[in-house]
Structures are given as structure tokens and as C-alpha cells.
């Protein structure tokens, strides 16, 4: 029975991999363009006279460009190499997926990984799901990488993410479109998030890693956290911020808040920083950072 169960498990894994691979095979259309190259071994070169004249479709992605090249590994025919080929798009590249549209200089897609890298400077905009919500905009100087197996993307190279009054800066950002979950990281450095306020005096949060739920306007920061609220500065090891409430709960050993101009200092294991009233008090309830709420689907 154990052997049979093991075989069934292996079969299930192989079937899953095969299904994923089939969803990664790209189809390139050229209704107003041309295709050239060796019919059996490639590479196939697609060209059009106008931007968007070449269209690639794979999984949940649509790719528009003026030129595309589809290549197989050396020694393999284009048909036999399905699942291993590389497609390169150039000339006003546009990527679309649901409410997301991205633009960049060049996109390289690998069927083996199901990932398409849009090289920068690249910009991605996700329109709101409902009226009244804010769009999400991501800018990357390096690249934006889209995974066709799900709704995730990863950006690298001086990344800036903006949603409403919130703005984040990091070297690397992981993003889930449906949840609007963004994870900001700068290996060996710091992440910086800014909450712009109409009355002036921006709220600034710095940490080693920060996670944001853009739609809910909630934030989780960890690792030598600093919250700057004008002259009032609160420091700790972790922070949970709810923009609707205008409150940040800061934890540390201890968490410390200071206002040098007013000569005030407060320290405790947990502090509540009210950013609307610009004041800090002890948080008297048991509290743990809600890490599960900000957990990514992969990584």
C-alpha cells in the first residue's frame, strides 16, 4: 500500500509539473507582420511596422511589441523544444495581465521557468479593483519579472512603489496583484516608506524589511525600525501600522520614543504611536506582530 501511495504521489507531482509546463508554452501572433527564419530549427524572427504589431500569449500574460525572436536550444527543433525555448520582445514592449499594464525596453521570456523579465527602466500600473481605491504603480530601473504560473511579480533596481499617499523605496520588491501585497527588501541596507500628509510633515518608516497591503493600507516593518513623525521618533524591532486608524504599534526590547524638542522620552516593551495626534503612550495589551496577515504565497 505504501509503495502504491508513493507511486500515486510521484505521478501527481509529475502531472502537476507537466500541466505547469504546458501553461508556459508561448504563442506568438503576427497579424500585421512577418515571420522569417529556419522553419524547423529557428530562430523565428517576427517583425511589424507598428508598435504592438507582434503579440505574444502565454499563461495569463499578453505581450505586445514591434519585434520578437523565438529560439530553441542548439540542436533541437522548435517543436521538440517546446517548454525550453526563449522569446525576446523589443520595441515599445507592453505587458498586460488583468488590471495590470507594464511598459519597458525589452522582455525576455523563458518557457522553462515561466518567467518573463521586462528590462528597465520599466513601469507597472495596476488599476483599482473598486471605485475609490488607489492604483498601484511600480517603477524599476533594473527589471520587472512576471510569473505566468500565478499573479506575482518581482522588481529589482532602485524600485519605487506608490499607492495613494504611500510611497516605498527599496532595491527589490515582491508583489502579489490580487492581495496588493508588497514586500520591500534592500539586502545589506534599509527600506524606506513615506506616508505623505496633506497638512505637511510626512510620516517616514525605515526598517530592514517592510511588508505592505496597499489596498488595506496596512504595514508590517521588522529589523531596527525607526518611525519619524516630525520631531517625535519611535524606535523598535518591529512595527504594525494601520493607516485608517492612524496608529502604529511598536515592539522592542525595549521600544523607545523620544521628542528632543519637548524633552520627552518613553520606553516599554510595546508602545502605541498615534500619528494623527503626534503622541505616544504605553500599549497595555498583549501584542504579537500579525506576520501571518502579511505572509506571501511563495518565496
Overall number of domains in the chain:
2
pLDDT of residue 244: 94
Same domain, 98 and 225: no
The verdict on residue 298 lying in a domain is no
CA pair distance 76, 107, nearest whole angstrom: 23
The rounded distance, in Å, linking the Cα atoms of 256 and 217 is 24
Q: How far apart are CA 275 and CA 228, in angstroms?
A: 10
Q: For residue 22, what pLDDT is reported? A: 75
Tell the burial category of 257 from Cβ atoms under 10 Å away from its Cβ (0-12, 13-18, 19+): buried
Is residue 85 located within the same domain as residue 121? yes
Distances (CA, A) of 83 to 36, 107, 149: 21, 17, 14
Q: What is the pLDDT, as a whole number, of residue 17?
A: 40
Q: Which long-range contacts (CB under 8 A, 24 or more apart) does 37-46 make?
A: 40/77, 40/78, 41/72, 41/76, 41/77, 41/78, 42/70, 42/71, 42/72, 42/78, 43/69, 43/70, 43/71, 43/72, 44/69, 44/70, 44/71, 44/78, 45/69, 46/70
| Per-residue pLDDT of the chain in tens (299 residues, 90 and over written 9) | 444 444 433 434 333 444 456 799 999 999 989 999 999 999 999 999 999 999 999 999 999 999 999 999 999 999 999 999 999 999 999 999 999 999 999 999 999 999 999 998 999 999 999 999 999 999 999 999 999 999 999 999 999 999 999 999 999 999 999 999 999 999 999 999 999 998 878 999 999 999 999 999 999 999 999 999 999 999 999 999 999 999 999 999 999 999 999 999 999 999 999 999 999 999 999 999 999 999 999 87
Query: What is the domain extent for residue 105?
Result: 26-189
Q: Final residue of a domain: which of 189, 213, 241? A: 189
Last residue of a domain, one of 189, 219, 243: 189
Do 177 and 116 reside in the same domain of the chain?
Answer: yes
Examine residue 214 and state whether it is found in any structural domain, yes or no.
yes
- E strands within 231-282? 232-242, 247-259, 264-274, 279-282
Choose the final residue of a domain: 189, 208, 239: 189
Is the entire prediction scored with pTM above 0.85? yes
Structural domain contains residue 71: yes
| Residue 148 resides in a domain | yes
- Going by C-alpha positions, the residue among 194, 274, 216, 270 that lies closest to residue 238 is 270
Q: What is the CATH number of the domain that holds 254?
A: 2.60.450.10
Question: Do 78 and 213 have their domain in common?
Answer: no
Question: Do both 222 and 183 map to the same domain?
Answer: no
pLDDT of amino acid 21: 62
Residues 152, 201 within the same domain: no
Looking at the structure, do residues 185 and 207 belong to the same domain, yes or no?
A: no
Q: Is residue 143 part of a domain?
A: yes
d(CA 239, CA 251): 6
> 43 preceded by cis ω (within 30°)?
yes
For residues 156 and 208, membership in a common domain is answered with no
Same domain, 232 and 139: no
Q: How many helices (H) and strands (E) does the chain have?
A: 1, 23
Amino acid at each position: 500500500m505504501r509503495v502504491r501511495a508513493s507511486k500515486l504521489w510521484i505521478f501527481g507531482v509529475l502531472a502537476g509539473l507537466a500541466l505547469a509546463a504546458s501553461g508556459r508554452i508561448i504563442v506568438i501572433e503576427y497579424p500585421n507582420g512577418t515571420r522569417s527564419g529556419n522553419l524547423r530549427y529557428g530562430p523565428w524572427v517576427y517583425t511589424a511596422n507598428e508598435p504592438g504589431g507582434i503579440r505574444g500569449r502565454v499563461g495569463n500574460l499578453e505581450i505586445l511589441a514591434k519585434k520578437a525572436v523565438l529560439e530553441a536550444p542548439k540542436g533541437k527543433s522548435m517543436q521538440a523544444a517546446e517548454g525550453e525555448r526563449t522569446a525576446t520582445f523589443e520595441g515599445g514592449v507592453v505587458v498586460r495581465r488583468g488590471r495590470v499594464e507594464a511598459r519597458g525596453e525589452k522582455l525576455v521570456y523563458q518557457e522553462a521557468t515561466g518567467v518573463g523579465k521586462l528590462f528597465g527602466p520599466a513601469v507597472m500600473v495596476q488599476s483599482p479593483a473598486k471605485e475609490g481605491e488607489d492604483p498601484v504603480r511600480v517603477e524599476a530601473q533594473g527589471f520587472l519579472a512576471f510569473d505566468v504560473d500565478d499573479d506575482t511579480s518581482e522588481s529589482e533596481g532602485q524600485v519605487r512603489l506608490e499607492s495613494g499617499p504611500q510611497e516605498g523605496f527599496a532595491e527589490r520588491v515582491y508583489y502579489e496583484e490580487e492581495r496588493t501585497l508588497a514586500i520591500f527588501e534592500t539586502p545589506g541596507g534599509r527600506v524606506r516608506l513615506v506616508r505623505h500628509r496633506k497638512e505637511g510633515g510626512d510620516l517616514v518608516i525605515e526598517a530592514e524589511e517592510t511588508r505592505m497591503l496597499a489596498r488595506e493600507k496596512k504595514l508590517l516593518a521588522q529589523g531596527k525600525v525607526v518611525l519619524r513623525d516630525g520631531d517625535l521618533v519611535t524606535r523598535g524591532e518591529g512595527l504594525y501600522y494601520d493607516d485608517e486608524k492612524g496608529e502604529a504599534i511598536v515592539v522592542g526590547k525595549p521600544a523607545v520614543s523620544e521628542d528632543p524638542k519637548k524633552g520627552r522620552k518613553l520606553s516599554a516593551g510595546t508602545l502605541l504611536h498615534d500619528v494623527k495626534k503626534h503622541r505616544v503612550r504605553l500599549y497595555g495589551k498583549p501584542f504579537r506582530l500579525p506576520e501571518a496577515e502579511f505572509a506571501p504565497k511563495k518565496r
